[in-house]
């Protein structure tokens, strides 16, 4: 295995989902819904398959999806992007992150990035030869420390990689926190790449795209995908929007990664964004209820857990149960209780101690599944 991949552990999601399957445990680990998105959207994908959308799509994406993405950014956020040149369709947000990184980073460049990290960031930055400059979010409130952010920027900073709503902590960066990032970016003439895949999954707080802040539209690449907003995580259709120089850098890499993304799913994703535009709001309302169900159950099981403002994840501190090490806890839990969670330590690559006692649970499962999981946790000794 090549040196660019050495030291990167296998993704925790594969490990923990395999453990769930092997033990028959309730899987509150990997974040994927157990109910699919809207059937009429699925019907559009079937129609596209049967209607002959089975050959290569254009590299930047089919025009209807690029238009739908541009229209989505305009409708929700007042951001105005040209579907030709300022919008690119990718194979999930994952490929957008990969393409932007490979398209922008020179070996040795620094990237300022929020820790705990969504795990593909660590792998991609290493593969591109980037140096991580972490800005670490600490339990229990996981807020962004503006001084730590400022201290992480150097003359070698290539870009700031943000994620809000934030996986795994559920933090939704406030307008004030984002303004601190924006002011720094303007001051140092920095690019910001922002992963907003959970943009619609917030509860009682507003998601602010950093591209909407003063001076930011011309320096921000915004990434999202169909996976979380529409409960189609298996489709792997994502997109990025921003100024042509950033979209172009991503596309320059993407043409050699995948060339183009799945043709029949793109018109269906366009349909979702335009004709099922209310779905994400309904999903967020339903997740809000399921979040509260999980948190109530966890508290009853002896695990009082802070309330996340967004995503479909909540993070518990297992010292409440007398445990110290979340990796040991999570590896033992399927046998002890028949439940799978994710040790958050896996995402604190640079400061593992900051996540040693933290476990992430997803609440994107049906209420009866959540009830079963918390029942099992309560019954465990
Ligand atoms: N970024 C974050 C923060 C995520 O949680 C996910 C979902 N696993 C992704 C990116 C990947 O999204 P996609 O499946 O669209 O590649
Ligand atoms: N984003 C999901 C999570 O964090 C799934 C990630 C994955 O399977 N790579 O659980």
In this predicted structure, what is the pLDDT of residue 9? 87
Residues in the chain: 381
- How many whole angstroms separate alpha carbon 209 and alpha carbon 175? 9
What mean pLDDT is predicted for residues 206-220? 98
- How many whole angstroms separate alpha carbon 378 and alpha carbon 381? 8
Around ligand 1, the residues with Cβ closer than 6 Å are 92-94, 118, 163, 167, 195, 197, 225, 227, 233, 236, 238
- Residues above pLDDT 90, as percent of the chain: 98
In Å, how far are 13, 115, 282, 305, 375 from 128, measured between CA atoms? Answer: 22, 18, 38, 37, 44
Which of 9, 31, 199 to probe ligand 2 with, by most ligand atoms within 8 A of CB?
31
**pLDDT value at 97 more than 90:** yes
Q: 233 CA to middle of ligand 1, Å?
A: 8
Q: 214 CA to middle of ligand 2, Å?
A: 32
**How many CB atoms are located within 10 Å of the residue 116 CB?**
29
Which of 14, 91, 93 to probe ligand 1 with, by most ligand atoms within 8 A of CB?
93
- Cα of first residue to Cα of last residue in the chain, in angstroms, is 42
In this predicted structure, what is the pLDDT of residue 60? 98
Q: Provide the token pair at 25.
A: 């445990």
Looking at the CA of residue 97, tell me the nearest atom of ligand 1: 10
- Residues above pLDDT 70, as percent of the chain: 100
Q: What is the gyration radius of the CA atoms in the chain, in angstroms? A: 20
Q: Provide the token pair at 50.
A: 């049967």
- How many whole angstroms separate alpha carbon 102 and alpha carbon 100? 6
* pTM for the model: 0.98
Tell me the domains of the chain and their CATH numbers: 3-37+279-379 (3.90.1150.10), 39-275 (3.40.640.10)
Nearest CA to ligand 2 atom 2: 31
Nearest CA to ligand 2 atom 5: 31
In this predicted structure, what is the pLDDT of residue 130? 97
- β partners of residue 360: 315, 342
* ipTM confidence: 0.97
For tokens 């680990």, the residue is: 29
In this predicted structure, what is the pLDDT of residue 311? 98
The candidate with the shortest Cα–Cα distance to 236, out of 261, 255, 254, is 261
Which of 91, 232, 233 to probe ligand 2 with, by most ligand atoms within 8 A of CB?
233
For tokens 């802070």, the residue is: 306
Q: Provide the token pair at 149.
A: 């952010």
Whether 17 lines ligand 2, by a CB cut-off of 6 Å, is no
| 340-373 per-position pLDDT tens digit | 999 999 999 999 999 999 999 999 999 999 999 9
pLDDT bracket for residue 10 (50, 70, 90):
confident
């Amino acid at each position: 295995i090549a040196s660019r991949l050495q030291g990167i552990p296998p993704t925790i999601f594969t490990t923990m989902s395999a453990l769930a399957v092997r033990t028959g445990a309730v899987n509150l680990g990997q974040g994927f819904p157990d109910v699919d998105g809207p059937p009429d959207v699925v019907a559009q994908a079937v129609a596209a398959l049967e209607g002959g959308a089975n050959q290569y799509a254009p590299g930047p994406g089919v025009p209807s999806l690029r238009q739908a993405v541009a229209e989505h950014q305009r409708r929700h956020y007042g951001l105005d992007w040209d579907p030709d040149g300022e919008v690119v369709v990718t194979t999930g947000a994952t490929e957008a992150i990969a393409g932007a990184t490979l398209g922008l980073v020179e070996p040795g460049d620094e990237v300022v990035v929020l820790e705990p990290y969504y795990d593909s960031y660590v792998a991609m930055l290493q593969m591109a030869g980037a140096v991580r400059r972490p800005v670490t979010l600490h339990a229990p409130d996981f807020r962004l420390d503006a001084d730590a952010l400022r201290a992480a920027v150097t003359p070698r900073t290539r870009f700031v990689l943000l994620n809000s709503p934030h996986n795994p902590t559920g933090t939704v960066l406030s307008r004030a926190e984002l303004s601190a990032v924006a002011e720094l970016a303007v001051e140092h003439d920095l690019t910001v790449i922002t992963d907003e895949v959970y943009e619609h999954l917030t509860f009682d707080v507003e998601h602010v795209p950093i591209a909407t802040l003063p001076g930011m539209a011309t320096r921000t690449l915004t990434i999202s995908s169909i996976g979380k907003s529409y409960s189609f995580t298996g489709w792997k259709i994502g997109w990025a929007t921003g100024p042509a120089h950033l979209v172009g850098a991503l596309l320059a890499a993407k043409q050699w990664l995948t060339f183009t993304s799945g043709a029949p799913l793109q018109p269906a994703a366009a349909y979702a964004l335009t004709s099922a535009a209310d779905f994400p709001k309904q999903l967020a309302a339903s997740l809000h209820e399921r979040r509260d169900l999980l948190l109530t159950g966890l508290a009853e099981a002896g695990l009082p857990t802070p309330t996340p403002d967004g995503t479909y994840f909540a993070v518990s501190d297992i010292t409440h149960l007398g445990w110290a090490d979340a990796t040991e806890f999570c590896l033992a839990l399927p046998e002890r209780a028949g439940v799978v969670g994710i040790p958050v330590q896996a995402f604190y690559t640079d400061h593992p101690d900051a996540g040693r006692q933290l476990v992430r649970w997803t609440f994107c499962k049906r209420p009866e599944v959540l009830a079963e999981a918390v029942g099992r946790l309560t019954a465990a000794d």
